[in-house]
Structure 1
Amino acid sequence: MRAEIEAAAGEIRESLALLRRHLDWDNALRRLDELNNLAEDPKLWDDPTRAQTIMRERTQLDTSVSGYRALERDLADSLELIEMGEEEGDATVVADAEAQLYALRERAAKLQLESLLSGEADANDCYVEVNAGAGGTEAQDWALMLVRMYTRWAEQHGFKTEWLEESAGEEAGIKSATIQIKGHNAYGWLKTEAGVHRLVRISPFDSQARRQTSFSAVSVSPVIDDKIDIEINEKDCRIDTYRASGAGGQHINKTDSAVRITHLPTNIAVSCQQERSQHKNRAKAWDMLRARLYERELKIREDAAAALEATKTDIGWGHQIRSYVLHPYQMVKDLRTDVETSQSQAVLDGALDPFLEAALAARIKGQSDEDSAG
């Protein structure tokens, strides 16, 4: 076999070895057997909370083990096809098998990276909140474009999205919105999206077709379960009710059922208008507030208080993590990792993986460097 094929196979084997080590393979298989036996116990659902925890762990572990086995099997199949094609002189078979091998190398690298999503809340669903910066309609349209980008990304990964709150823009777009993204490792993948996002384009709202720069801030927090104890003193909170607004048409409530809770010590505010019932919106808002406070504690524990404060400063120059330029050229560039692409529309349609992977790898490398220094 040619050297490049051997090199690609070697990279995949290296990823497999790291995945196996990370999974602690023998213990993982034993634990999966235990969880499968527990899942078959008819009394399991007598305790729904425990049952959900067990089923969640079983699904996650089964996904990891199945992913490793599929990778191992597909590598063997691709190499066997290449060898067979070369022996028979069938260039088409060889070319197809090579293409499979190179695609497999990308898949292996991604699985290896995903295996490192082992932070305290990485596996959880997440809330994504987008707030328009100064700039009126243009900035509000940009905020809506960002929400659409994350929704598209979620759809492409088989995740579900749910709109929880929306404050409509004056002419177009949104002033703010919060969505919940549901799927394994949703928070782990999206947590690095927190920060200010900058758009440069010819504004469709400017009659003189001038180029404008807009900013929107994104915050990401994990959805947390009842096992994580976050104490909130209700005396520290202000609760406001108001009439829901947004693009809901006939579904928008005509009563003051939307709820906003502001945690006064931290000035963290959350809103929910998803349900027609004020009681349900209030319960959901408390869950969201707990998530935001938990995310804050996580950041402090990671010694990243400064990064947290940066998301609370003015939404403008000096605080952005990524630039999206649509005029006079096409370019999306991450200012932390230097990853860039000229496929701006594809990114706005949800093609975020190269940015997410690079940001995650950089964060993990930074943590490894800190551990080595310590």
Structure 2
Amino acid sequence: MLTRMAFICMGLRVSKYRKEVEALWAMPENDRNNELDRLLRKNRPLNAAAEEVTSLEKLFSSPPLSKRALREQDSQGRGKKAGRFGRHTAGTTGEPNHVSLCRSELGRMLGVRDYCFRHYGLKLGQREARLWGRPEAGMKSWVKNFILNRHVFHPVGPDANNEMAGLLDWKPDYLYGYASLLLDAAQILETMDIEFVPPKCVICTAESILPAQKAYIARVFKAPVAEEYGATEFDVIAFECTEGHRHLVNPWVLVENSGDNGCLVTDVSRTSQSLVRYELGDSIELELSECIRLGAPEVISHLEGRSINRFAYLSRNEKFHALEFARAVDRYQSQSGEVFGFTVHQYRYGCFVLETSSDPKKGIQDLSDFIVEYLDGVVGVRVEITPENEKIVAEPTAKKGYFIQAMEPDHDG
């Protein structure tokens, strides 16, 4: 298989790490904790106080690490070694970050993903139909998707039915994407009189989904629906088993519900960056289950964040995914070399208010104009963006989203 061969050529030992995942979850908890202690003594990551963490006891007494503190840590070269692979978060909490990974770290992430997929009879590298926030174009995207055996579909707008027909004609082994787009796709498919080969699984990510919506998608696509919870910094954190439990699945990643600081995540295997009790920005509830089908007995019973404020509206019937604001600001910051927090508010159709934590070097109006041009190229409509003179007030105990949908439910524009 091309994808697996590409991983091998890149030095990404996916099968090796998948087997390690299986072995670690098969261990008694005390033995697994001893292995995590061993890794901490070896890697000696730094916590938010710039102190070495060499045991689980020291880890759980460490202060939380904010996204801002991680950026400062990286800029000062603390707790960081050279990473061959880079990831850049889109800043869905208004605070984008760069993620650095070495081969073994990326290999572990892929091993965890392969472990989850095999629970549904899939293997990493099989045919994926990805439903994402926008259609992809360009040679770089084409090559990446070809190697990953992936086709990206965007079943929105006047070509939605043709997109769905193309998706079904490709006969994917599984579907993967935003819950909102998968729901839209299911609604389109239900109106189509067409025979198709059902996928082995439909995987919802990035957004929460209601049980009734999951049941609907499963019925229309004739396939089980699994929820994935993750983050760019860690990839898959939790994955739903066939019994409906969202198990923690990465044995090297520790997850805590800290109340005021929300979800705290630590990767004890990471050497390219020190991520110790990292504030992910979501609010979760963890509980113990008796289910042993997948990963840890700890499961995410409740998740807040990434479930609201998903769409920006041009009119009552026209919308686009609010992630495009994050993509636009991410591109602006990549080009300008600066980083700042941001939030976009919507009060009327096609009109938005932009606020930032600090003024961009060229001014907030320059950023507003950039977003308008970017969205014009993506959604084909020039929206109105008004810069807000007031700066974002930091709220350390609350998540500040990058988009706030503030229109009244019956707003008529």
Q: Which has the higher helix share?
A: 1
Give the greater-gyration-radius structure (CA).
1
- TM norm structure 1: 0.26
